[in-house]
Structure 1
Amino acid sequence: MNAPEHPETGRPGLHGADPVLAALAREVDALRRVVDGLEQVPERVDQLGRLVGQLSEALAAVTARRRIPAAPSWLLAPGDIGETRRLLDELCGWLQAVFLRYPDAVKVLPECWLWHPEVVEELLWLMHAWLAAYQGPAASVGAAGDWHDRQRPGVVNRIRKEAGSCSIERHQTRPGWNAPAGAPVPVPGTDHTELIARWWASGRDSAAPEPAPADGGGGL
């Protein structure tokens, strides 16, 4: 069967070729979509690059947190007077500079705190939590906020319950200690650090030594 002639040209019409043209049009459209996809490849590569960068930063942060040194333990301190004295000296310096700036800490820390191993342990880890929050490789506003909101108040409350009502008099009679108001408060009882350091280094399983009498009388 011959194709019908075009009414104007008298040549065979293209009506019979329409399915072929439609198929070609579909192939061209498919190729166009492929090309469009290829044009988006650089953008997608950039997106993947940014994602990898974010994951790398997150991993670095986690690794940094794992590198934070563990807090030393007073309860498990080595039997070395140099080490026990170093721990107490560092702790006393931090108590003076930071902990005793808080009025509730001044009220709760008894002069005989050195005679309470659990109190020394609490204060040591609290000091190292502060160092990690403010100066460590993972220091952050969030860590500092946690120290203020949860860690410090928790330690203060436990000291109040365990030793807040205690005093040097309960270990040996001597004049009480009154903290001055309105100024940085000295760390109480630091004149006993040498005695406590020696005891904890070499005889912690025996009874604690009695505090030395106060200068000027009033003691035993």
Structure 2
Amino acid sequence: MARLSETVASVATRRNASPAPTWLLAPETPDDTANLLDDLTAWLGAIYLRYPDGLAALPDCWLWHPDVVEELVWLMHAWSAAYQGPAASVALAGDWHDRQRPGVVRRIRANHGSCSIERHRDGPGRPPITTGRPDIPGRDQISEIAAWWATARDYAPPEPAELVSEGAWT
């Protein structure tokens, strides 16, 4: 009887959990979208990129793909639900590891595996990117991407900065 009571309480708690924010319907204010991207990039560095397949599948132009950002935002919140708060559980963590994270990696790789910053630049004759990628690709352009997505998402995104030596962005 005690276990049944705990199960019912756990299910009720999960139903009352707040929904994950969505990048695709992010607030139309640059500060709010920048905060969402700041949280996401912190989580990417702390969690997602520690898995070799996640690191290998994440293209350096991930910020320019709203579907990739959306996948990563909900995955971050699924991780949080699995590991933090009163409804966290071993079952949710197992689901995150066995199904959710590999599914996101697979979709990113399938849809954007051959993409790169170069494919997002206009104009012929730009030199190819030849240096390694930074810890979190595009981090230096978060405020620019956030402002674009918040105020002009139906128009072309800003051009990516050029990658220069030692993985730094210009």
Query: Which of 123, 129, 138 lines up with 2:72 in the alignment?
Result: 123
Which segments of structure 1 move beyond 4 Å, counting only runs of 4 or more?
none
- Identity score, percent: 59
The answer to whether the 8 A contact 1:168-1:176 is kept is no
Rg larger for: 1
Query: Which of 198, 206, 210 lines up with 2:147 in the alignment?
Result: 198
Residues 1:175 and 2:124 aligned together? no
Structure 1 unaligned spans of 5+: 1-50, 180-184
Matched with 1:99 is 48
1:79 maps to a residue whose letter is E
Matched with 1:10 is none
The answer to whether the 8 A contact 1:111-1:177 is kept is no
Structure 1's 117 and 167: CA in aligned 2 closer, same or farther, altered over 3 A? same
Pairs within 5 Å for 1:9-158? 51=1, 53-158=2-107
1:122 maps to a residue whose letter is E
Question: How many residue pairs align between the two structures?
Answer: 160
Structure 1's 157 and 177: CA in aligned 2 closer, same or farther, altered over 3 A? farther
Structure 1's 76 and 96: CA in aligned 2 closer, same or farther, altered over 3 A? same
The answer to whether the 8 A contact 1:92-1:187 is kept is yes
Q: CA offsets, 1:105-136, max 9 Å, x none?
A: 11110110000000000000000000000003
Provide TM-score, normalisation by structure 1.
Answer: 0.68
- State the SS of the aligned residue for 2:80: helix
The answer to whether the 8 A contact 1:132-1:139 is kept is yes
2:132 maps to a residue whose letter is N
Shift of 1:161: 1.0
Shift of 1:212: 2.9
Structure 2 unaligned spans of 5+: 166-170
Structure 1's 110 and 176: CA in aligned 2 closer, same or farther, altered over 3 A? farther
